């Protein structure tokens, strides 16, 4: 009986831990791509963020800053990422689920480097395991 109770409590805890993740702000039915220069990789929990400058002739300074949410550091590290996977100054093409409100950015799906390497994100509106490939 104690084992069954412990298993039931563990199952409830897992559901509660997963429940805080809401991806309702992203449009999971649409993907977009932008090419730009990495400004910063915020390697921290609960989610890693990728910041990227994208050329925009209409912007006062000639570019727009995009922000992309990704999975957590431990999940991404298990898929080959580190805090140096994307470094400031690199040019990449990011595929992402856009924000529903139209702001620049969304949920990171993948980044393709000039040499063809691809790193894949984790989580997002469709969930799933988008493993990193190098």
From the list 129, 90, 127, 84, the residue with the least C-alpha distance to 112 is: 90
Domain ranges, ordered by start, for the chain:
25-120
Instruction: Please list, in sequence order, all residues whose beta carbon lies within 8 angstroms of the beta carbon of residue 54, skipping any fewer than 6 positions away.
Output: 34, 35, 36, 63, 64, 65, 66, 104
Which one, of 128, 96, 122, 101, lies nearest residue 25 by Cα?
Answer: 101
| Cα distance between residue 5 and residue 63, in whole Å | 56
pLDDT digit string (tens) for 84-124? 999 999 999 999 999 999 999 999 999 999 999 999 999 87
Q: Which superfamily, per CATH, for 25-120? A: Nucleic acid-binding proteins (2.40.50.140)
**Per-residue pLDDT reduced to its tens digit, 23-59:** 788 888 899 999 999 999 999 999 999 999 999 999 9
């Amino acid at each position: 009986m104690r084992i069954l109770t412990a298993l039931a409590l563990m199952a409830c805890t897992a559901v509660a831990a997963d429940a805080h993740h809401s991806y309702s702000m992203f449009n999971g039915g649409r993907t977009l791509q932008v090419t730009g220069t990495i400004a910063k990789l915020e390697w921290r929990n609960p989610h890693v963020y990728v910041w990227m400058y994208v050329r925009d002739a209409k912007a006062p300074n000639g570019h727009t800053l995009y922000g992309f949410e990704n999975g957590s550091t431990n999940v991404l590290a298990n898929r080959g990422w580190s805090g140096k996977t994307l470094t400031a100054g690199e040019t990449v093409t990011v595929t992402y689920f856009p924000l529903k409100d139209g702001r620049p950015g969304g949920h990171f799906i993948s980044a393709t480097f000039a040499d063809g390497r691809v790193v894949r994100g984790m989580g997002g509106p469709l969930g799933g395991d988008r493993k990193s490939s190098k």
